[in-house]
Amino acid sequence: MPEDTRTPKAPAPPPHAPGAPGAVAGRAWLMLGLATLGFAVNFWAWALLSPLGPRFKDGLGLTSFEQSLLVAVPVVVGSVGRVPVGALTDRFGGRVMFPLVSAVTVVPVLHLGLWGHSSFAALLAGGFLLGIGGTAFAVGVPFVSAWFPPRRRGLAIGVFGAGMGGTAISALTTVPLVDAHGMANPFLVTAGVLAGYAVLAGLVLRDAPGRSAPGEPFLPGLAGTFRLGVTWQASALYAVTFGGYVALSVYLPTYLRTGYGLDAADASSRMAGFVLLAVVTRPFGGWLSDRIGPVRVLDASLGVVAAGALALALEPELMPGGTAAFLAMAAALGAGSGAVFSLVALLAPADRVGSVTGVVGAAGGLGGFVPPLLMGALYGAYGSYALGLALLVLVSVAALAFTTTGVRNALRAH
């Protein structure tokens, strides 16, 4: 037979390769949109108990500690649970894990709405399982990262991170739904949305072609994640940026009421503005990291946080000085959080992005718990927030120095 001299057909490019067909690139954006929706829906469920804390305290006669524990349990479980869920996402992919996490979260949501709000023990058990919804973050980052090239991952992961605005949906809708239709209503609505998303994700979500999966067993692979330098570098920075966002958003109503004498409604509306600005600037931080590098974005963000905390420590009038400082810090913390995961996308091995994300996400969530407790204790002891804010200045400056030296060197060596 004559030799076949035809040029062999080139393999199809991956979805983010130069020259990939437009339909494939569009599919990557579709996957990003569905992942962001899933993140928002799961975070909506994750935050259901917080707005109802005062109701449960009055209705069940809870102590202040029991109310705080009730609100804290889902957040702690959701933060720590990101570590194994991120590792499982590396192994099985977001196509499996997004529908699974969403479907499993339906169970505690229904429990809390139908039976679990009648006693503290039942609420606590439901809140523990509700923490599963908070692990969705560790599913989405590796899923989205695999669909985009390194030069676009900062923007993509930043857009995905805006799904943390799901907590705002809970804050704005939960109490009105209870007032309108009874205690079960917000839980039933959320369970229906979660179930609908689980079905949609199961039908439509697809992992990126060529996705890398770890070749070693689960536990040794997870242990290897803890030996990576990027795991600890990004965890420290995320504990400051996202942890700072969590801490300030949680504590801001109390700060404004005790420090500036605002009423509860005014303080809550200002907190909502703080959250919204941080959510909006997170994608911007990722986009800017794609263009000038995550180190420069982190340097600027941490510098603004330090300057804002210093300004607030001087106890300015709320308008305009205090408000400007709070808003500047919100924008900086949002942008800095987006930059941290741009850093993860650059430095983490492709088959460990989920595991690294899980550890970093846990550090960010847990990093938001210590500052409110510390601020409350210092205010109780000294009648001022100045010392707590001075500590935030020191932490931000230390993180800035670490970014400029250790993190910059790690990127150069990569």
Three-state secondary structure readout of the chain: CCCCCCCCCCCCCCCCCCCCCHHHHHHHHHHHHHHHHHHHHHHHHHCCHHHHHHHHHHHHCCCHHHHHHHHHHHHHHHHHCHHHHHHHHHHHCHHHHHHHHHHHHHHHHHHHHHCCCCCHHHHHHHHHHHHHHHHHHHHHHHHHHHHCCHHHHHHHHHHHHHHHHHHHHHHHHHHHHHHHHCCHHHHHHHHHHHHHHHHHHHHHCCCCCCCCCCCCCHHHHHHHHHCCHHHHHHHHHHHHHHHHHHHHHHHHHHHHHHHHCCCHHHHHHHHHHHHHHHHHHHHHHHHHHHHHCHHHHHHHHHHHHHHHHHHHHCCCCHHHHHHHHHHHHHHHHHHHHHHHHHHHHHHCCHHHHHHHHHHHHHHHHHHCCHHHHHHHHHHHHHCCCHHHHHHHHHHHHHHHHHHHHHHHHHHHHC
pLDDT value, residue 311: 92
Q: Which CATH class is domain 24-209?
A: mainly alpha
Please give the structure tokens belonging to residue 235.
């965890």
Q: Going residue by residue through the chain, which has 414 residues, state the pLDDT in tens, using 9 for 90 and above.
A: 444 444 444 444 455 544 444 333 678 899 999 999 999 999 899 888 877 777 787 788 877 677 777 777 888 888 888 888 988 998 899 999 999 999 999 999 999 988 888 888 888 899 899 989 989 988 998 899 888 887 788 888 888 988 888 877 887 788 888 888 888 888 999 999 999 999 999 999 999 887 777 767 777 777 778 888 888 988 999 999 988 887 777 677 777 877 778 776 677 678 778 888 888 898 888 889 888 888 999 999 999 999 999 998 888 888 888 889 989 999 999 999 989 988 887 888 877 777 888 888 888 878 877 777 677 777 777 787 888 888 889 999 999 999 998 888 877 876
Backbone phi and psi for residue 119, each to the nearest 5 degrees, phi listed first: -150, 160
Q: How far is CA 70 from the centre of its chain?
A: 20
In CATH, what number does 224-414 get? 1.20.1250.20
pLDDT value, residue 414: 65
pLDDT value, residue 193: 96
CB 314 within 8 A of CB 207: no
pLDDT value, residue 359: 86
Q: Which of 34, 33, 75 is nearest to 53 (CA)?
A: 75
pLDDT value, residue 262: 77
Residue limits of CATH 1.20.1250.20 in the chain:
24-209, 224-414
Residue 370 CB contacts under 8 Å (≥ 6 apart), including other chains: 247
pLDDT value, residue 247: 77
pTM over 0.85: no
Helices 82-92 & 136-147, crossing angle to 10 degrees?
A: 40
CB 55 within 8 A of CB 67: no
Helices 82-92 & 218-226, crossing angle to 10 degrees?
A: 120
pLDDT value, residue 59: 81
pLDDT value, residue 9: 42
CB 255 within 8 A of CB 385: yes
